[in-house]
Amino acid sequence: MQYCTKCLIPSTRPRITFNEEGVCNACQHAEKKKKEVDWEARKQKLIELCDKYRRDEYWDIIIPLSGGKDSSYIAYMMKHEFGMHPLCVTCAPPMSTDLGKDNLHRMIRSGTGYDHIFMTPNPIANQKMCRMSFIDQGRPKHPYVAGIFTMPLRIAVKFNIPLVMYAEEGEIEYGGTSRLSDHADCNRQDIIDIYLSGNHVDKYLGMEGLTKDDLRGWELPTDEELARVKPYVAHWSYFENFDPYLHYKVCEEKTGYKAAEGKQFGTFDNWGQVDEYVLHDMHIYLMFIKFGFGRTTADASIEIRFDRMKRQKGVELANQSDGAFPGGKRLEDFLEFMKMTEDEFWDVIDKWANRKVLEKVDGEWKLKESLRELRANPKPHPIEI
């Protein structure tokens, strides 16, 4: 077990690696972006990409749009800075916030407006899949994550749109496989292996009565369909240093994006992930249960990499709110959505609890005190726990 000596990310994060100084690969990537990446050259690549695919008579790019700060920023930049003609595609979150709905509404009506498709996958199938994914994988929002990839790509194939622009390549940005570190684009197999964690929607066939027709929204286009259109599926983070706070400030000015009142649950800011309710909170809580770190650790680590926060301050914030449990009304609404009892819920939580890094204190799962000390004083090499 070890913690990054620069940020707060632990070695329990899947696919993360560390160098001899104990610095995680996300922090190494951040330093590379500061010192080695030629951002002007990458911007020129983006200009060339836009010139290649731009077509004035039709949509030429799909922006998977949640209404959040990152996707709204990309849609704004593509239309107003690069002269593209975006079709924004939203996969409806199973449980959204009023603020998220309002931000999406403001976004598509901002400036000269945006063409937009709002897709709601079969809500009955969605609920069943979320429940099964929560029980079987400890991932209550995985069907939504899958839909963010499958639905925009199906629209790209349907309307013959040659370019799709996602936000960040999270594995490189936050610590994971470096498979796509030198690529602007990704392919179908990358999406299956990395972003869908190898899951294929067919695994749900027949479960709780689900049919092929119920699951169409989560089917990736086939290799043959993609070969016909050949969409270039890219990540914005390859072309510009990906800064969520910058995106927030630009969208606040350009698209009317509004932050939440007060800090977001489980973290210290009020401007990120304001569009999802409960499922994201539980997703983050399960991250803590399985890997021993939560949203505060993730958010603080980003700020540390941008030199906007000292590591010691990040540790203090993590001690205060990492692993916060979304109880009360959040728990009630989650149980109602999942159609399960509180006892069933805690059976799932306890099943996924990583007892190597957590211990129960007064009925609540907490990070072991020895690991809180290690997080505050990290070592360059792993230690036994």
pLDDT tens-digit series, residues 236-277: 999 999 999 999 999 999 999 999 999 999 999 999 989 999
pLDDT tens-digit series, residues 58-117: 999 999 999 999 999 999 999 999 999 999 999 999 999 999 999 999 999 999 999 999
Q: Which of 180, 179, 177 is nearest to 238 (CA)?
A: 180
**Segments making up each domain of the chain, as ranges:** 25-35+259-376, 39-238
Cα end-to-end span (Å), the chain: 7
The architecture CATH gives domain 39-238:
3-Layer(aba) Sandwich (3.40)
Q: Give the number of other CB atoms < 10 A from CB of residue 15.
A: 12
Contact indicator for 256, 107 with CB cutoff of 8 Å: yes
* pLDDT score at 195: 86
* pLDDT score at 59: 97
At residue 385 the predicted structure's pLDDT band, cuts being 50, 70 and 90, is: confident
Instruction: Indicate whether 198 pLDDT > 90.
Output: no
Q: Given phi > 0 = left and psi -120 to 50 = alpha, else beta, which region is 214?
A: alpha
**Residue position matching structure tokens 């939504």:** 144
Report the mean per-residue pLDDT for the chain. 95
Lowest mean pLDDT among 185-189, 198-202, 279-283: 198-202
